[in-house]
Amino acid sequence: MATPTKKMTSDEKVMKRRSFLQVAALGGGAVMLSWKDLAFAQGRGGAAPALKPSNFIKVAANGIVTIMAKNPEIGQGIKTTLPMVIAEEFDVDWKDVRVEQADVESI
């Protein structure tokens, strides 16, 4: 004889917090593993080109340091901040640091 099935109450239909966290962690792990595979698939074309600081910073014989900045000055202080950082790192006077606007494609 078949046993009657018990109807679930509304409290039993609600997912518990622990069950939700377990399912979310399992799903998140699966997503991370799939993204890792995509990242390796993107890198099969060869090694990334090496970063050359000479593309961005030029030091002249007279001590003038020129920075090629791709970001335009639109109020965030990029043409003030970059010379300050370069002057500090290269140990030169701030007045000897110049900023030139680079083309978007050149950098």
Q: What type of residue is 63?
A: G
Q: 65: exposed, middle or buried (C-beta count within 10 Å: 0-12, 13-18, 19+)?
A: buried
Nearest CA to 96 among 59, 53, 54? Answer: 59
What pLDDT is attached to residue 29?
A: 78
- Number of neighbouring beta carbons within 10 Å of residue 72: 12
Give 14-33 pLDDT, tens digit per residue.
677 888 888 888 888 777 77
| pLDDT averaged over 10-residue windows placed end to end, the chain, 107 residues | 64 73 83 65 58 78 88 79 88 90 68
